Copies of this chain bind each other. A is one copy, B any other.
Amino acid sequence: MRNSSADQLILETLGKQKSHLTSHQIYEAVHLRLPALNPSTVYRALDRLVNQGKVTVSDMGLGAAVFELTGEKPHHHLVCQGCGHITLIADDQIAPLISNLEKNYHYKIKTNHLVLFGFCEKCQDTA
Contact = CB atoms under 8 A, between A and B. Distances in A.
Copies per complex of this chain: 2
Interface string A5-46: 000000000000000000000000000000000000000000
Nearest to A94: B97
Contact of A106 (B100, B107, B116, B120): B120
Contact of A116 (B78, B81, B109): B109
Contacts of A115: 111
B101 A124 contact: no
Contacts of A98: 116
Interface of A: 59, 65, 78, 80-81, 87, 89, 93-94, 97-98, 100-102, 104-111, 114-121, 124
